[in-house]
Amino acid sequence: MAENKTVDKEKYLDEIEDSIRTIGVLTSGGDAPGMNAAIRAVVRRALAKGLKVRGIRRGYHGLLKEEIIDMSARDVSDIIERGGTVLQTARCKTMRTEEGQQKAAAICKKYGIDGLVVIGGDGSFAGAQKLANLGVNTIGIPGTIDLDIACTDYTIGFDTAVNTAMEAIDKVRDTSTSHERCSIIEVMGRNAGYIALWCGIANGAEDILLPEKYDYDEQKIINNIIENRRKGKKHHIIVNAEGIGHSTSMARRIEAATGIETRATILGHMQRGGSPTCKDRVYASIMGAYAVDLLLEGKTDRVVAYKNGEYVDYDIDEALSMTKTLPEYQWEIARALSYNYTK
């Protein structure tokens, strides 16, 4: 029996000898909880398939600096519950240049990296796209707390980030009620309002300010605060998206206009940290394994996605050309459940 298993493995290795023998994995751009689960899945899935795995530290920056290490199953033990990324991450302007892209492709070939798994956002996928055009088999995995990648309904880190923000806003609400304040809580998301939208619903915010929807008419907010206070409301929670920002100056203007003490709380990078939720661990693990399977199927220049309840993949060009819009029904419900201006 053992002899048959050995023969089968040797046959399998012979079949992939001319295609994928060594996989590289890197994390690029902003970190997101769950990236370690994806790294772990890539490493262990590849090893189980008889491949070698090389980890690239500090994203494309580290690739250009040849910060490349061999990875074993032991190297990814006890990382699934940790936030951040054990491979570290960085942004790399050089990778946007043709010279940098050619150097990165040459380094992949130098280290025998036949396939590269890139965990990150749209900017990271753009780099993967360039490498694919230069002969490096690449697969992208969506890793960003912003949920702003158009081809997928889920991105690694969003679930943890939105839960972190929700719990923080609950705490701010407690003290805001005690002091009968208005509180503006600014959440991350870059130019996308998904974290703000979800927290607005989950935290029962009175106002939700999203880059996709906000008309910058502050008087509406002021009128809403005054009307709610007249009705006996003890606090007023405004969830403000990072893409709008300026929460501190907004708080000063609102306090001056209403006479109600108004404080701004900017949650910042705490949303990127912390132990990932069960959802982020499971989804990231499946995406990591799926990326390895795609490479073994001979696919390249693809992005893993979660769409309509299924794990799928798209051509990187197609994925990058897609436009993501805020779900109108979710926005309608958010407004209907809040003390909004139409009441």
Catalytic site positions: 146
Q: Using CA atoms, how far apart are residues 194 and 217, in angstroms rounded to an integer? A: 21
Residue 252 has which token pair?
Answer: 């000063």
Quick one: 161 exposed, middle or buried, by C-beta within 10 A (0-12, 13-18, 19+)?
Answer: buried
Q: Using CA atoms, how far apart are residues 214 and 140, in angstroms rounded to an integer? A: 32
Which residue do the tokens 């491979």 mark? 87
- The neighbour count for residue 61, using CB atoms within 10 Å, is 21
Quick one: 23 exposed, middle or buried, by C-beta within 10 A (0-12, 13-18, 19+)?
Answer: buried
DSSP class of 275: P
Which residue do the tokens 């880059």 mark? 211
Instruction: Confirm if 43 and 53 have CB atoms less than 8 A apart.
Output: yes
Instruction: Strands of 71-223 (E only): list them.
Output: 115-120, 137-142, 182-187, 207-209
Contacts of 138 (CB under 8 A, 6+ apart): 115, 116, 117, 118, 128, 129, 131, 132, 300, 301, 302, 316
Q: Using CA atoms, how far apart are residues 132 and 341, in angstroms rounded to an integer? A: 50
Q: Are strands 137-142 and 302-307 parallel, antiparallel or unpaired?
A: parallel
Residue 169 has which token pair?
Answer: 């806003």
No. of H helices and E strands in the chain? 12, 11
Which residue do the tokens 């590269």 mark? 116
